Homo-oligomer: A and B are copies of this chain.
Amino acid sequence: MRRAVCLLSGGLDSATTLAIARDEGYTVHALSFRYGQKAEREVEAAENICRVYKEVVHKILAIDLSQIGGSALTDNIPIPLNESPSGKIPVTYVPARNTIFLSLALGYAEVIEAQDIFIGVNALDYSGYPDCRPDYIEAFEKMANLATRSAVQGRRFRIHTPLMSLNKAQIIRRGLSLGVDFALTVSCYQPTANGKACGRCESCRIRLRGFADAGVPDPIEYDCESGILSE
């Protein structure tokens, strides 16, 4: 069986991406990061998601991006709540995050002799982060194939983005069709102390709208359900 590395944040997109990689026949090595995120619960979520599949290898790397800073997800900058999309890249953008994560995935893939890397980026229902777009992924793949001993020796890397052109409702339906248990996933940027999603940050709002559009209930608990989708 071919091995693949799958970036797994613990959110619904990456959980679905992992299920797709398995469905395509890969032995999946899931890769998660403790990067100094406020929502460290998402790493537990990633562990729970992996536990469902006994053949999935789960690796958690520590790389504290608060050493660099510049993001509401890692720094002492408030996470915006109840905001409508402005068309601007929000303060939750983490400088070069996907590039850093994909670079580490590339190194890991090279070591375990995998040539396939899955990432659950999506350029439809997303926050406008530049490192989620197809031309970025294409440029990363090209760079990866010049960067590595494997590629020089003819084993080329491919970055798979199976969710790129799906909307959130389509991702949810795809995940459900593959048996993903969305109750295990964490999307919230800042879960409450009792482990509930805030329901108000942009990530919660995109998720809730996705479940509403898909016509299925979101199985996770929210801290404040009133007014969530009433903009």
Contact = CB atoms under 8 A, between A and B. Distances in A.
A12 to B, nearest CB: 23
Interface stretch (A38-46, A61-69, A216-224): A61-69
Contact of A107 (B100, B133, B149): B100
Give the dominant DSSP class at A's interface: helix
Interface string A106-149: 11101100000000000000000011010110011011101111
A97 interface: yes
Contacts of A68: 61, 104, 107-108, 111
Contact of A143 (B89, B93, B108, B143): B143
Given A67-B61, A103-B99, A143-B142, A131 B110 contact: no
A152 interface: yes
A147 B96 contact: yes
A61 B99 CA distance: 16
A162 interface: no
B61 A144 contact: no
A95 to B, nearest CB: 4
A89 B135 contact: no
Contact of A62 (B67, B94, B142): B67
Interface string A131-174: 10101100110111011110110000000000000000000000
A146 B136 contact: yes
Contacts of A65: 107
A148 B106 contact: no
A110 B70 contact: yes
Nearest to A70: B111
A98 interface: yes
A106 B99 contact: yes
Contacts of A63: 63
Nearest to A106: B96
Nearest to A140: B143
- Report the 4 A-B pairs with minimum CB-CB distance, sorted nearest first: A96-B107, A70-B111, A139-B143, A95-B107
